[in-house]
Structure 1
Amino acid sequence: MTPGRRQFIRTGLAGGVLLSLAGWLNAAGARRLSEAEREMLGAVVGAMLAGVLPSQGPERLRLVALTVDGVATAVSGLSVATQIELGELFGLLVIAPARLVLAGVGKPWREASVDEVGEFLQAWRSSRLKLLQTAYGALHDLSFGAWYGRPDSWQAIAYPGPPRGYF
């Protein structure tokens, strides 16, 4: 069934309200990640790196936390405008109603399984909406950039590290 004009307008208005709320919550611009954002990113990183991370235990938690720290470092090095855009995305994903509507995850991120988070990420990756594909790309690039930016992850891909002695 195709949504009608009224449904389209309602959805647009609701999306506008959610974006306004996210922008208001993130009006400060450049800032540190909140605990809720770190929790959301931990769930995303855990799903993105599911085949690489240990399936459970303290080592998994340590590696996820290190990767989230790397994401925070990467975000802090971006332009203020890009930080604001990412803050809006993160803000939407941590607000429970928006998380349910946008990601289909009704429970807090700390309670979401790797499979549930993976399903939402795949839905965004293959979405017909370019905006969701772009949001997926940002989460993907930040997660993998932070993971492979750490020298202790290079051995798994046989990367010897950056060239030395050329400068």
Structure 2
Amino acid sequence: MTPSLPATPVLSRRGLLKISLGASAFLATAGLGASLSGCSSGSAAHGFAVLRDSDLPILRALVPVLLEGAVAAGQLPAAIDATLNGLDRSLDHLSPEMLKLTRQLLDVLAMGITRGPLTGIWGSWESASAEDIRHFLDRWENSAIGLLRQGRASLLQLVTMAWYGRAESWAHCGYPGPPRI
């Protein structure tokens, strides 16, 4: 059996550019709407320097899925808290522009009007199952829209850097720790 390709591509370069432009405009509008509506509050949640109350449900849902296999089930609640604290410290040291972009990403994920269509998670983050979150991450990883792929990569990098920056995570990956001086 020989594979056959359609004579014309299903999605042309022009079509891809139109979709990307439309998605970028949609995300920019959603981010602007979030900041104008007060959804994007600049005040940090209690106990955090940067993370806001609206960010915490998203991250508390994502972190366990992203750390799957790296943390024993009994240690997961402490690992989530440690990862959130590490992430908060990292965000506190970002440039203002990078922090703004990260907050826009979290705002888009927090708003129901954008969360549903973009992630497939129509309810709250607290009610999303691990399978729902895996599907959302796979959807963004394989998206034709570069902005969604970048958003997934950003979430993944932020969480994994926050977790693997902690000494208790090193044994899992075989890292003995920094040399003693």
1:20 alignment partner AA: L
Displacement of 1:10 in angstroms is 7.8
The question of 1:49 aligning with 2:67 is answered: yes
Contact 1:29 1:83 in 2 (8 A): no
2:33 alignment partner AA: L
**Which whole-Å CA distance do the structure 2 matches of 1:107 and 1:129 have between them?**
23
Contact 1:89 1:135 in 2 (8 A): yes
**Which whole-Å CA distance do the structure 1 matches of 2:137 and 2:88 have between them?**
20
Contact 1:29 1:80 in 2 (8 A): no
The question of 1:35 aligning with 2:47 is answered: no
* Max Rg structure: 2
2:171 alignment partner AA: Q
Normalized against structure 1, the TM-score is what? 0.82
Question: Secondary structure of the residue that 1:32 maps to in structure 2?
Answer: coil
**Which whole-Å CA distance do the structure 2 matches of 1:83 and 1:75 have between them?**
7
Question: Secondary structure of the residue that 1:35 maps to in structure 2?
Answer: coil
2:84 alignment partner AA: V
Contact 2:41 2:52 in 1 (8 A): no
**Which whole-Å CA distance do the structure 1 matches of 2:79 and 2:28 have between them?**
36
Give the paired residue count: 160
With over 3 angstroms needed to count, the CA separation of the structure-2 counterparts of 1:163 and 1:10, relative to structure 1, is closer
Spell out the pairing of 1:57-136 with structure 2 (5 A cutoff): 59-136=75-152
**Which runs of 5 or more residues in structure 2 are unaligned?**
1-9
Displacement of 1:12 in angstroms is 6.6
Q: Report percent identity of matched pairs.
A: 27
Spell out the pairing of 1:136-155 with structure 2 (5 A cutoff): 136-155=152-171
Q: For residue 20 of structure 1, what is the aligned residue in structure 2? A: 32
Contact 1:50 1:114 in 2 (8 A): no
Contact 1:29 1:84 in 2 (8 A): no
**Which whole-Å CA distance do the structure 2 matches of 1:10 and 1:135 have between them?**
16
Q: For residue 172 of structure 2, what is the aligned residue in structure 1? A: 156
Contact 2:23 2:145 in 1 (8 A): no
Displacement of 1:83 in angstroms is 0.3
With over 3 angstroms needed to count, the CA separation of the structure-2 counterparts of 1:72 and 1:66, relative to structure 1, is same
Displacement of 1:27 in angstroms is 7.3
**Which whole-Å CA distance do the structure 2 matches of 1:122 and 1:147 have between them?**
21
2:167 alignment partner AA: P
Cα RMSD (Å) = 2.7
1:48 alignment partner AA: L
Give per-residue Cα distances to partners, 1:17-72, cap 9 Å, x unaligned: 212123444474996211220110111111111222344x6x32221121112111
Give per-residue Cα distances to partners, 1:1-25, cap 9 Å, x unaligned: 98x9xx9798676444212123444
Contact 2:61 2:128 in 1 (8 A): yes
